[in-house]
A and B are shown apart, each in its own frame.
Chain A
Amino acid sequence: MKQQQTPTSEARAAGLTLRGIVKHFGPTRVLDGVDLDIRPGEFLTLVGPSGCGKSTLLRIIAGLEAQSAGSVTIGGRSVDALPPSERDVAMVFQSYALYPHMSVAANIASPLELRRLSLFERLPLLRWLSPRRPRVMREIMTEVRAMAGQLQLEGLLDRRPAQLSGGQRQRVALGRAMVRRPAAFLMDEPLSNLDAKLRVHMRTELAELHARLGATFVYVTHDQIEAMTMSDRVALMDKGRILQLGTPSELYDTPADVTVARFIGSPPINLLEVEASAGGVIRMAGLALRAPGPGRYTIGIRPEALHLGRAAPGLLAARLRRAENLGAEWLLHAETEEGAPLAIRMTAAEHAAADALIGQVLHLSASRAGVHLFGPDGRRVAVEAAVEAPA
C-alpha cells in the first residue's frame, strides 16, 4: 500500500489523543463519544460517509469548534483551553482558504508574519516605523522562497490565488501550512476540488510529503481509495462514532462491522441475507460455515473471492447481466435467484477461460478468506472451524 521512508528533515511530530469527544449542534448529536490515539508521525485517515462528523472532529482538534464534552491532547499537552494558533497544528482546507487579496508569497508568509511581528509592526503605515521589521521580513521571505522551491512554486510567488490552477492553489495551501513546521497537519478533503487525474497524482505527492516531513498527518476524506492508499491507519466513522480503527489491510481483510465492509473496497462487497440451520451451519457458495447459533445473518463476499465453476450442488447460482472489461481485469455483474446483485472480479485470463455469456447462469464458489459474516446488529461474527463441505 504505502512505502515507508525515513524522514530526511528533522522530524517534528506529535501524538494526538482524543478522549470521549462529544459534539452537539443544538439537539443533534454529531459526535458520540470518540476515543482516538494518533501516534506521532503517523498518517491517520478519518474516512466515512458524508455527514458522519469527520470535519467536525478535525475542527475540534484544530480548535475551530469547541467540543461539548471530552478532551484533546496534542503532544502530551491538553489543548482544550488553547486557541487554534497555539495548538501547534496547521490545517489545509478543502477550499484552500487562501487570502485572495494577497500574493502567493504573502499567503505563505502569513503564519510567520502573524507570529513574529507584533500587531503594531503589521499595521498599515505605522509598520514602517518599526526598526526590526525589515530584518524580520527578510528572514521570513528567505523561508518563503525555500518553501516555494520545495513545492515548485518559485515562478508564481507574485501571483494572486485567482491566477493559479487548482493544483497550484493546493500547493500554496500546503506551503502556508508547512512553513511554520507544525507538529501535526490537519487536512479536510484537500483533494476533492481537483480533477481525477491530478487527484491521483497528489495522493502520491502527499504520501511522499508525509514521509519527508515525518510529521503527524490527520487526513479527512470520504473517498475510501484515498484512505486505503495513503494511510498508515484508517479510522472509519459512521454516525458520529468510530466503527473500526486499523491498518488499511485490517479494515479490508477483517471488517469489524457490516458498514465497514460495505464502505471499504471497490467494487463494494457483495452482501447476502442467509439463514443458519438449527446447528448454526450456513451453506453458501460451496462453503459451509459454522455460526455461533441459528438465525439470520448477513454474509459478505468480496468480488474477487467469487470464482466461476461447473454446475454443482451447493454453489451459488446467478445470472450474468453485464460484463465490464477493465483491461487487466473483468468485472461481471450478475443477479442471484432472489434478485440480489453480485459483483465478480477476475483476471482477464480467468475470464477468457470461463467464456461467460450474458444471460447465462453462472455457478459460483467462494474462497474462505474473502467471506465475512455479520450478525443482525451488523457486528462481525466469528466463524468457528468450518465444517467439511458435502461433496
Chain B
Amino acid sequence: MTAPRQRAEARAGAAFALPAFALILALLLAPLAALLALSVTDYRLGAMAVRLVGLDNYAALFADEVFQRSLRNTFLYVAFVLPGAVFGGLGVALLVHARRRSRAFYEVAYFLPVTATLVAMATVWQFMLHPSLGPVSALLRALGFGDVDLLNDPSLALGTLALIGLWQVIGFNMVLFLAGLSAIPRDLYEAAALDGARSGPDRFLRVTWPMLGPTTMFVTITSTITAFKVFDTVVVLTRGGPLGSTETLLYVLYLEGFQYFRTGYAAAMTVVLLAFLVLLSILQARVIDRKVHYA
C-alpha cells in the first residue's frame, strides 16, 4: 500500500472514531476532569471567588472524623450486604429455575423490589419497622425480643438498612443468575449423570457452580458497587442517625455538597469514592477473572 493511501485511510478512520471519542470526552472524561479540578479548590456553590488549595481538601478529609466514620460504616454495610446478595441471589435463582409453571410468577415477585423506587418503598419499611405500630416490631415482641426499635438503636440501624438493601438487590441478582443458569448446556449435566454425578450437590459442584463463574463475578462486582453507593434508605429512614451509626460515604458527601455547599470538599470526597470503586473493580476482575473464563 502506498504512503498517501495509508494516510488517507488513517484520516478516514480517525473521522469515523471522532463522534464516539467526542461523546466520551464530553460525557465521561470532562466531568471527571472538572471533578478533579474542583477537588483542589475551596469552591463553594454560588461563591464569587475560587482559590486553589492544593491537596488541603484531601488532608482535611482524612482528618475528618465524620468522613472516617462514614467510610467505616460503608465498608461494614458492604460486608453485611455482599454475601447475602450473591449467595441469596444464587439460592433463589436455583429454586426458581427448577419451577416450570410458577417460574414466571416468582421471577416477577422477586423482581418487584428492583422496579419499585426505594424512596417509595422506604416509607413502607418505616411503617413495618415502627416501634409501636409496625408488624416487624410486633413479631419481634411476640418472639420474646422485647421492645426493639430497629431504626433507632445505634447497634442495629446499619444492619437493618443492610437487610433492606439485600431485600432490594436479591431479585436483580436472581435474574442475572437465572440467565447464567439457562446458558449452561444441558448435555453437561447429562455427561455428569453418566460419569456418576447422582446427587444435587454433585451436579452443583461439577457443573453449575463452575459454569456460573462469570455470572458470579459480575454479580459480585455490581452488588459491591450498589452497596457502596447506599444512599436513599439512609436519607429517608435514618438521616445518618442514630449517633451517626448509619452515616455512609454517599450520605456525608451529599451533606457536604448540597446541604453545606462545600463543593470543593465534596469533590475531593467523590474522588476518593470513585477511587475505591475503580480499585474494587480492578481487584475483583483480576482475582476472579483468572478462575472463571474458560473459552
Interface residues of A (CB under 8 A from B): 59, 62-64, 83-85, 89-91, 93, 95, 97-102, 110-111, 114-115, 119, 122-124, 160-162, 176
Contact = CB atoms under 8 A, between A and B. Distances in A.
B193 A84 contact: yes
Nearest to A83: B198
Interface string B101-121: 000000000000000000000
A160 B213 CA distance: 16
Given A99-B188, A119-B202, A162 B194 contact: no
A161 B197 CA distance: 20
Given A64-B194, A84-B194, A114-B202, 20 more contacts: A63-B193, A64-B193, A83-B193, A83-B198, A84-B190, A85-B193, A85-B195, A89-B194, A93-B187, A93-B191, A98-B191, A99-B188, A100-B295, A110-B195, A114-B196, A114-B206, A119-B201, A124-B205, A160-B294, A161-B294
B191 A97 contact: yes
Contacts of A111: 194-196
B195 A176 contact: yes
User: Quick one: which of B196, B199, B294 has the most chain A CB within 10 A?
Assistant: B196
B81 interface: no
5 contacts: A85-B195, A89-B194, A114-B196, A114-B197, A162-B294
Give the bracket for the number of chain B residues in contact with chain A: 20 to 34
B210 A85 contact: no
A162 B295 contact: yes
Contacts of A114: 192, 195-197, 202, 206
Contacts of B206: 99, 110, 114
Contacts of B13: none
A58 to B, nearest CB: 11
Nearest to A177: B194
Contact of A101 (B185, B194, B210): B210
Contact of B211 (A97, A101, A124, A162): A101
Nearest to B207: A99
B271 to A, nearest CB: 39
Contacts of B190: 59, 62, 64, 84, 91, 93, 97
Interface in B9-64: none
Contacts of B196: 85, 111, 114-115
B197 A85 contact: yes
B194 A100 contact: no
A243 to B, nearest CB: 28
B195 A100 contact: no
Query: Can you list the 10 inter-chain pairs with the closest CB atoms, starting with the nearest?
Result: A114-B196, A97-B191, A100-B294, A97-B187, A101-B210, A111-B195, A85-B196, A84-B193, A115-B196, A84-B194
A119 B199 contact: yes
Contact of B185 (A63, A95, A110, A176): A95
Give the one of B190, B191, B294 with max A CB within 10 A. Answer: B191
Contacts of B205: 122-124
A120 to B, nearest CB: 10
Nearest to A188: B187
Given A115-B196, A119-B199, A101 B191 contact: no
A116 to B, nearest CB: 9
Contacts of A91: 190-191, 194
Nearest to A59: B190
A195 B201 CA distance: 38
B295 A85 contact: no
Nearest to B292: A101
Contacts of B213: 101
Contact of A99 (B201, B202, B210): B210
Contacts of A162: 294-295
Contacts of B199: 119
A100 B196 CA distance: 18
Nearest to A173: B191
A31 B185 CA distance: 25
A103 to B, nearest CB: 11
Nearest to B291: A101
Nearest to A186: B194
A357 B202 CA distance: 68
Contacts of B192: 110, 114
B255 to A, nearest CB: 45
Interface in B169-225: 185, 187-188, 190-199, 201-202, 205-207, 210-211, 213
B232 to A, nearest CB: 38
Contacts of A160: 294
Given A90-B194, A122-B205, A95 B187 contact: yes
Nearest to B199: A119
Contacts of B187: 93, 95, 97
B117 to A, nearest CB: 40
Interface string B212-249: 01000000000000000000000000000000000000
Contacts of B295: 100, 162
Contacts of A100: 211, 294-295
Nearest to B294: A100
Contacts of B194: 62, 64, 84-85, 89-91, 111
A221 to B, nearest CB: 17
Nearest to A85: B196
A334 B193 CA distance: 53
A58 B193 CA distance: 15
A90 B192 CA distance: 11
A100 B212 CA distance: 12
A111 to B, nearest CB: 4
A162 B293 CA distance: 10
Contacts of B207: 99
A123 B197 CA distance: 13
Nearest to B202: A119
A98 B188 CA distance: 7
Nearest to A109: B195
A64 B192 CA distance: 11
Contacts of A62: 190, 194
